Amino acid sequence: PLHISRHFLTLSPPSTLNLRPKPPENPISLRRSNTNTHRYKTSHDDDGIPANEVKTIAKFKSRYNYIRVIEVSRKADHPLAGSRLLLLDNPGNIHSISFLLKTLTECYFDVFATLPPIIPPGPIGILGFGAGSTARLILELYPFEITIHGWEIDPSGREFFGLSKLERDHKDRGFLFSKGSVTKELQDPNVWENLKSGLRKRVMIMVNVGGTCVEAQDPERAIEIW
């Protein structure tokens, strides 16, 4: 059976809490991570998605992020058509993506789905679980082979991506989101040394880092909603 293990991760509380002001609602600019080399085009104007083809599911501030959850209509003339996106902060970095009718995302998340055949046997840990894009891919493609342990500091967007249903399917296990400051600890080299010491031989740590400072290398890759 599949298992998503419950783990406690204790991190130091932040000394200060900086909440960014709410970004303007119109226009909303969504910028894909520069790790995605795919250039999206539509029949409208540049990379624009008309506002009437985008539905806002949720928009709020959590303790850690300014969060937006949006759905792109399946009728949209865009590779993201039919997707649900978790956007954090400004300019709206895409932190999680899922599709109702397909598994692969056609962006860099799919790279993680190639890992199970080339890494040593054993569980996979995801520190910074987001809304589960990577885990969902791996579990759907390798349903009887992989156990995933997930940690996430901010649980606010999880209910919009089916994680609560996954927990109900595995009542003895689940995800636990811990309070604390990720940024401070992850800047400490000793944290990474401690993580490394707990891994098996020939195992690597892969880090997917994003933030408001992340911009597309090519400005034309920006995805605009207008």
Per-domain residue ranges for the chain? Answer: 4-15+105-197, 28-102+211-225
CA distance 188 to 8: 20
Residue type for position 219: P
Which residues are bridge partners to 60 per DSSP? Answer: 67
Looking at per-residue confidence, does 190 or 154 come out higher? 190
Percentage of the chain beyond pLDDT 90 is: 2
Residue 13: DSSP 8-state: P
Q: Which two tokens stand for residue 15?
A: 């000394």
Residues 173-199: what's their mean pLDDT?
64
Q: Which two tokens stand for residue 90?
A: 């400004």
| pLDDT confidence of residue 208 | 60
Please write the tens of the pLDDT for every residue from 156-178: 666 777 776 555 554 444 333 33
Residue 37 has pLDDT above 80, yes or no: no
Residues 8-26: what's their mean pLDDT?
37
Residue type for position 63: R
Please write the tens of the pLDDT for every residue from 67-85: 888 999 998 888 888 898 8
| pLDDT confidence of residue 167 | 55
Residue 34 confidence class, pLDDT cut points 50, 70, 90: very low
The model's pTM is 0.56
Strand residue runs (E) in 111-174: 124-127, 148-152
Residue 191 has pLDDT above 60, yes or no: yes
| pLDDT confidence of residue 171 | 47
| pLDDT confidence of residue 28 | 42
Is the separation of the CB atoms in 60 and 52 below 8 Å? no
Q: Dihedral of CA 193/198/199/200: which sign? A: positive
Please give the mean pLDDT across all residues of the chain.
Answer: 66
| pLDDT confidence of residue 164 | 65
CB-based burial label for 152 (10 Å; 0-12, 13-18, 19+): buried
Please write the tens of the pLDDT for every residue from 93-119: 777 888 888 888 888 888 888 888 888
Q: Which two tokens stand for residue 22?
A: 């709410």
Is the separation of the CB atoms in 10 and 72 below 8 Å? no
